[in-house]
Amino acid sequence: MNGWEHPSGCTASWEAEGAWMGHWIASFGFVVIGINTNTPTDWDTARGTQLLAALDYLTQRSPVRDRVDPQRLGVMGHSMGGGGAISAAQRRPSLKAAVPFAPASFSQDLSGVQVPTMIMGARDDGTVTPASLDRLYATLPTTTEGAFVELSSGGHGFPTWGKGNRERHPTGPVELQRRAQPAVDSRIRALQAKI
């Protein structure tokens, strides 16, 4: 994935909580750019704008632009940054993937998303609850590839576990629930077999 925003609780930084995952994803050959939000009070749509600006910089002006395929971009984010990933996917249907972790997406739904989207959350997340993710995922059009993964534990901060023994297993502990269209479901099984 070529974009990530991680402002957990609207105040965390990429360096403190998300950078571990950037290095791990890059080890598979992806070019990764990690960003912080402009201000801790930016909502999901502002963060989507920031993610798209980061992708534009990466593909048009960055020193590594010749190593990035502008036709194969994706976005990830956690919490309000996950809402930003949804916002970016709504506005740029050419993206190849969106992976919002526990997305705080209070001002939008997925009804306009055409980008393959995998939402992840944790059963014990009291900030972005499984019920809110169920409602959000239900708005994804049936014509859009999608998956919803609910982890059995991890709370709202599950994407920040990389500093411990879960670094090579970013999907956290045992998966509790998965709802996916058949093509995505087989990809998830293939990913699970690798980790």
Spatial separation of the C-alpha atoms in residues 149 and 180, rounded to whole Å: 9
Catalytic residue selected from 156, 169, 185, 186 = 156
Q: Is 23 a catalytic residue?
A: no
Q: Is 156 a catalytic residue?
A: yes
What is the separation, in whole angstroms, between the first and last Cα of the chain? 18
User: For residue 67, what is the DSSP state?
Assistant: G
Helix locations, the chain, DSSP H: 19-26, 44-60, 80-91, 130-137, 182-194
Catalytic residue selected from 125, 132, 152, 153 = 125
Catalytic residue selected from 8, 79, 87, 105 = 79
Of 186, 157, 193, 189, the closest CA to residue 172 belongs to 157
Q: Which residues are catalytic?
A: 79, 125, 156
